[in-house]
Chain A
């Protein structure tokens, strides 16, 4: 009977695998990884505080910190964080030059904390 069986070894998050299980698997496979977390929001940001995005060295990611508009910039920062080992606090908003470039058009502002995963 299915259900309690082993999980597939695909390089994506399976339906039943949590983001943290994915992170543990990446680390067990020796891949550097970083975790991004929405730590504050103002206005109409699409994802609430606490939302996570996990990124591996090759830029594979699971989870989301926005409707998709800032993920690219967060993944880029995550790559730097993996290399330096130092966390970063990112801020995106409509009045922000970078946010225009990455397209945070929803009118909100969001702070994202990116930390390396040991």
Chain B
């Protein structure tokens, strides 16, 4: 693998971009496909190039057809969970989601909540949610949960998430709290999108403690990731 290819893969992962690297196993010659096109020493036949390009969507790594053995490795962004509100449930949810393979960011501008003591080893962001989400980006491999109970934090995040590509949106709160929230979001012009919000948040496991609720939230995020919205 050439140094440039290695740098390209690391950069794509950091930027959460999809990339496919095709390797000819006979001699290790490689080419790289990204959203802009392809480049590298290995030249593919048009049908093989089309097969490689199709792997962006599926994220699968596989051999391409043809007389030579060509292996196509797809690199797609890892799932990410953005947590609004450095609250008690977030303390339980962040390490659980990390263990399940999610990149986790906890967003809360209130320093007393988002402290390294309360969240050891967790990526914390002390920006306001709208600034943080604009910087982090809301792509199709991202889930967002609003747990702060504070409309000043939760609402701006939901307003950005609802029209975005994120695969899951959940918001904590009682039925009454949620009804009020829906009213505010409809007033903000998001009436056709508010049905995307999972509330009550999480699968109905019956648990009450912060950790039990975190399990229910993470289970629902994973379910939607693999099964899609139940509808």
Contacts and interface: CB of A to CB of B under 8 A. Distances in A.
A56 interface: no
B71 interface: yes
A61 to B, nearest CB: 16
B125 A3 contact: yes
A116 B2 CA distance: 9
Contacts of A86: 28
Interface stretch (B7-15, B33-41, B186-194, B221-229): B7-15
Interface string B65-99: 00001010110000000000000000000000010
A89 B114 contact: no
A18 B10 contact: yes
A49 B61 contact: yes
B121 A3 contact: no
B123 A113 contact: no
Contacts of B7: 24
A20 B25 contact: no
A39 B74 CA distance: 12
B13 A39 contact: no
A49 B61 CA distance: 6
A4 to B, nearest CB: 8
Contacts of A24: 6-7, 10
Interface residues of A, number: 27
Q: Is the interface of B mostly helix, strand, loop or mixed?
A: mixed
A15 B122 CA distance: 10
B3 interface: yes
B164 interface: no
B57 interface: no
Contacts of A37: 23, 71, 73
Interface residues of B, number: 32
A87 B71 contact: no
A1 B74 contact: no
Interface string A61-96: 000000000000000000000000011010000000
Given A37-B71, A37-B73, A87-B27, A15 B10 contact: no
Nearest to B105: A3
30 contacts: A1-B111, A1-B125, A2-B116, A3-B105, A3-B123, A3-B124, A3-B125, A4-B125, A16-B123, A21-B10, A21-B13, A23-B6, A23-B10, A39-B63, A40-B63, A40-B71, A48-B61, A49-B60, A49-B61, A49-B71, A50-B73, A86-B28, A87-B25, A87-B27, A115-B1, A117-B1, A117-B3, A118-B1, A118-B3, A118-B6
Interface of B: 1-3, 6-7, 9-10, 13, 23, 25, 27-28, 60-63, 69, 71, 73-74, 98, 103, 105, 111, 114, 116, 121-126
Sort A-B residue pairs by CB-CB distance and give the 5 closest, nearest first.
Answer: A50-B61, A3-B123, A87-B28, A20-B10, A1-B126
Given A2-B123, A24-B7, 4 more contacts: A20-B10, A24-B10, A39-B69, A118-B6
